[in-house]
Chain A
Amino acid sequence: MASTIISKDKFQFTDTIREHLAFGIVLTCLFLFLTSAYTKIEEHDRFMNGLLKVAFISHYAWLISWTVPVAEIVVSLFLIIPKTHKWGLYGFIGLMMVFTIYIGSMLLWSEKLPCHCNLLIEKLSWGEHVVFNLAFVGLAAFALWLIKNNQYKSLIKQNDKY
């Protein structure tokens, strides 16, 4: 019985590893969103021209072309400030899900697919883009789980003191 418990513990992350792993994921998400926002602002005309070609959002192209990079910067700020990492990750997952739904709907219904991606990933096809987005959603969800688990553990430790 004792040996079973020991071998189970071997596969568990220590608190420090959990914290570092979650923080590494937060920094990766931050880098992705900031490069993406920078590209969208730097090449704003190209980004807006792409949106204008999409039938069901062309009327709001100007609004969307500014809202998306601003939202990415706001989420990035949450990801920079340590106390708001959790909210930053929630925002990251939410925005990535919106982008994924947009790409999915474009793949299903749009005849022409404009390309106005982040410079890091603009060589990806639209199908690969969906997989890339979902992988990052999974990564951010994993980081959230690690953060919540750490908070839960420290709560138990605090209660044990009393």
Chain B
Amino acid sequence: MTNIKKLASGLLVAVLAFGFSAFKNTEKTDQTKLAPFYYGLDATDDVYRIITGSPVFEECTPGAPKDCVLISPTTDFGPDLDANEEAQLSPAEESSPEAYYFN
């Protein structure tokens, strides 16, 4: 393989890397526009509680049996989630696995 081909391939991968990152970020912006409901895991009783305002994912502290923050794109399940409601929801995109939100 010639050096020119290698250089071209490297530049192609660089463009792909930037394109791929940009594409993922656009998806995030669209989700924010839907104003979803976020539920954080409480360390006191392992129950998911509603997060008022935007979640601060840096607050996630490891050591929990479940995901830190769950997201409900449209439905408001009230202040707490029961087991059935919890099963319907999936972790928020930036949530840490096995971490508590409220300590």
Binding site for B on A (CB under 8 A): 19-20, 23, 26-27, 30-31, 34-35, 38-39, 42, 46, 49-50, 53, 76, 79-83, 111-116, 119, 122-123, 125-126
Chain A contact surface mostly: helix
B35 interface residue, CB < 8 Å from A? no
Asked if residues A114 and B1 are in contact (CB atoms below 8 Å), the reply is: no
A residues near B11, Cβ cutoff 8 Å: 80
Q: Which interface residue of B6, B24, B25, B98 has the most chain A CB atoms within 10 A?
A: B6
Asked if residues A23 and B61 are in contact (CB atoms below 8 Å), the reply is: no
> With A82-B6, A113-B62 given, is the CB distance from A20 to B17 under 8 Å?
no
Asked if residues A38 and B17 are in contact (CB atoms below 8 Å), the reply is: yes
Binding site for A on B (CB under 8 A): 1, 3, 6-7, 9-11, 13-14, 16-18, 20-22, 24-25, 57-62, 94, 96-99
Compute how far the CA of A125 lies from the CA of B25 in the bound complex, rounded to whole angstroms: 21
